[in-house]
A and B are shown apart, each in its own frame.
Chain A
Amino acid sequence: MKNSIKSLVVFISSLFLSFSAFAGGHAYTGPDLSGQKVVMFGPWLSPEQETMREVGAIFEKATGATFEYGGSDSFEQQVMIDLKAGSAADLVVFPQPGLAANAAAMGGLVPLGDDIKQMVLDNYAAGQSWIDLSTYADENGNEQFNAIFFRTNVKSLVWYSPDNFEDNGYEVPSSMEELMTLTEQMASDGNTPWCIGLGSGAATGWPATDWMEDIMLRTHSPDVYDMWVSNEMPFNDPRVLEAMDFFGSIALNDSYVNGGSKAVATTDFRDAPNGLFTSPAECMMHRQASFIPAFFPEGVEAGVDYDFFYFPAFAGKDLGTPVLGAGTLVAATNDNPATIEFMKFLMHPEPHEYWMAKGGFLTPHKGVDGSKYASDTFRKLGEILTGATTFRFDASDLMPGAIGAGTFWTGMVDYTNGKSAKDVADAIQDSWDAIK
């Protein structure tokens, strides 16, 4: 999987391509599947689940099959019960490749076959690297192409209110040093610099892993990052502890985070950004991936009420401008015709364009109409991507499920609750040794 991460640098250009694609809509047409039913289960709740159902309605209309989507914020646990019992929904949306790999190793996923693989190669920019990321060993150890990426995102973003910045005379920082100076200045002005929320039901803790990954990419070379992901470098290496302590210098400082450090673990990640829009503002900045505007309060407008800047790199370190990204995968648990046809439907531009228009959706699909993006703000993401010198896939998503969707999350919650970086990292490494 390591090579595939490296080849993902091409991902940058792939996303950019999708911004500049030609105008004109695409309409999906499919075979007649009347009377058949496809059920999908995933981690998306409102408002994403409504969008997914609307996307499914396009499929229903074209084929006559029925589509149902159900979401849960205990997705990671529930899907494992379902897979063990063999009763999972036809389609499963995995938020992380690591979890999908676990599911494949249990024999829970069906191989998708060469024609869908060819569609990914043809339609997705850097198709092979996407295929590498979704090819897993099955229960007999054979490598199988199991899933397709649908909905990708860029993580290295800081959201803010341009008006609040203007009122206070703050400038968008261009380096990490400037960002830290700005943070300090905000605190001394009596403002709270950051809103951080780690709460996410059973997945509580994941936003902190994104912080860790972004910091790792900014404090050490990409090779170190790859070694960290594969555990060639142990989790309790001093370089990882350094990154954790850097995160702690923000999250554990009561005057830097909204509600104080005690509130970090208990605030829901979906509520956290609301502090940008209160009167008076509860915080000035919020670091989160490109999907977060879906959770902003009703009525706020991109480019007017909020905007984003690139989570900057250290000017003093020669590490370029790294960008962190991730994506959700759709896998099938059985190969009935309607399910397989739905996978093919997801490779068609129409579902991508539909969701792009709803916002919070990036895609490596080359065939989509870039003008469908919800706003110029999302188009601006292209600039961040083309300016990147390093692209890396979300580390916790690539780690084995027990770590990346388990002890890494809970460890970060422990850390924000006051446990030392060393203890947290040791515990995570122990859990990793235990599954080797």
Chain B
Amino acid sequence: MKKISLSSILSQLLLLFFVIVWIIPTFGLFISSLRDKDLLAISGWWTALTTTEINEIYRMSGMETQIEEDGYFKIKGTLFEENSGKKIESFGINSKKINEFKIGDIAIFKDESEVILDEDGNYEWRSKSEFQKKKGKRLFTTSLSPPSFTFENYREVLFKEGIGRAFINTMAVALPSTLIPLIICSFFAYSLTWMRFYGRDTLLAIIIASLVVPLQMSLIPILTIYNDFGALFGVAAKSYPGVWMAHTGFGLASTTFLLRNFLKSLPNEMMEAAKVDGASHYDIFLRIIIPLSIPAFASIFILQFLWCWNDLLVGLVFLDQVPSEIILTAKLKELLGSRGENWEILTTGAFVSMTVPLFIFFALQRYFIRGLVAGSVKG
């Protein structure tokens, strides 16, 4: 039986603590994205299961809907949308005293018209004289709203706000931007590891050195080259192939370096045996290296894919910010500006953008961990 020591309990508790700290924001985002937008605006996600008090202003209907009844001119109507589930606690007719009346009270305006209100928001506004104004007076309600969850936010975000389209755009950027460097780097890493040629170490040194160059430095020069190229061949300077090439260029050094470290750990004897049997470099690569490197490929795929998926800068610079090209992160940033007050859209949008990384991570997590330690342990 395994012995349970104090230190292992402590470390387990510490781990649990960090897991909770990590998960809470995601969980909160998820709950928020499912909540009714009116409730979300005024209360935190941790109150999602309790009843929330809401203060609102409604305007009653105007003169067009009035009817004459029992010696009064009456305007009847309802404040809430159907099935809102809200129950009015108190109400007011003046912005200074929004809780002045209880349900059942008769509130009297300055012009001596009266209003009575039931807890479902149905009102009857009556006056001895005919109503003259096109717009009704304001009612201030304080109501209790039951917990309310909805998929409406997701429908809105995916179909109305353009997140759905941006999701596809990001896929169109991230998949090729991952596969192209993966293919190139596999050949490259092989030649750097198992082929002998003049200047190999220098080449490797250059690749490692280029890891240090920040990509921000090269944005404008690359865009200038694209632009000249585009002008020469009559194609757009900002386009999907352009982003793929940019991501490939920026990612190639690190992917090559990671894969080379992995290949280096493969036993030399295997290659030598293959050579003795008459295998060419191409055969060795295809029949031995690739099957053995699947875990390494997977981990590099994950790293590069997540990088491209989460990227904002490259997508902003190398694509036009139009609906057919805007990527998810840029779209979210745009919503942050234009719909900053609409939390339901932001939280839902953020959650949509997280689904793919979460899926990839859970599906391939054993490779992910192997990828992080690739090359660090010599086997």
Interface residues of A (CB under 8 A from B): 39, 41, 45-47, 49, 68-74, 78, 81-82, 84-87, 89, 163-164, 167-168, 199-201, 268, 270-271, 274, 277-281, 301, 304-305
Contacts and interface: CB of A to CB of B under 8 A. Distances in A.
Interface residues of B, number: 41
A85 B220 contact: yes
User: Nearest 8 pairs between A and B by C-beta?
Assistant: A70-B321, A85-B223, A45-B338, A73-B337, A46-B338, A68-B322, A87-B237, A70-B322
Given A70-B326, A87-B226, 6 more contacts: A45-B337, A70-B323, A167-B95, A279-B140, A280-B98, A305-B59
18 contacts: A46-B334, A46-B338, A68-B322, A70-B322, A70-B325, A71-B321, A72-B321, A73-B336, A85-B223, A86-B224, A87-B224, A87-B238, A167-B94, A168-B95, A199-B340, A271-B341, A278-B57, A279-B56
Chain B residues touching A, majority SS: mixed
B61 to A, nearest CB: 13
B128 interface: no
B320 A85 contact: no
Given A85-B224, A279-B140, A281-B95, A68 B338 contact: no
A305 B134 CA distance: 13
A283 to B, nearest CB: 12
A279 B138 CA distance: 11
B220 A274 contact: no
B95 A41 contact: no
Contacts of A281: 95
A200 B338 CA distance: 9
B238 A167 contact: no
Contact of A279 (B55, B135, B238, B322): B55
B1 to A, nearest CB: 57
Interface in B333-350: 333-341
A314 B59 CA distance: 36
A212 B338 CA distance: 25
Contact of A81 (B219, B321, B322, B326): B219
A190 to B, nearest CB: 9
Interface string B131-144: 00001001011000
Given A87-B227, A279-B55, A281-B95, A78 B338 contact: no
A280 B230 CA distance: 57
A78 B316 CA distance: 8
A270 B320 CA distance: 25
Interface string B310-326: 00000011001111111
Interface of B: 55-57, 59, 94-96, 98, 135, 138, 140-141, 219-220, 223-224, 226-228, 230, 237-238, 316-317, 320-326, 330, 333-341
Contacts of A201: 336-337
Contacts of A82: 223
A280 B341 contact: no
A73 B95 contact: no
B231 to A, nearest CB: 8
Nearest to A46: B338
Contacts of A304: 59, 135
A268 B340 contact: yes
Nearest to A270: B340
A398 to B, nearest CB: 25
Contacts of B57: 277-279
Contacts of B226: 85, 87
Contacts of A89: 320
Given A87-B226, A270-B340, A278-B55, A301 B321 contact: no
A264 to B, nearest CB: 16
A361 B29 CA distance: 37
Nearest to A281: B95
Nearest to B55: A279
Nearest to B219: A81
Given A87-B226, A301-B135, A39 B95 contact: no
Contacts of B228: 86
B323 A280 contact: no
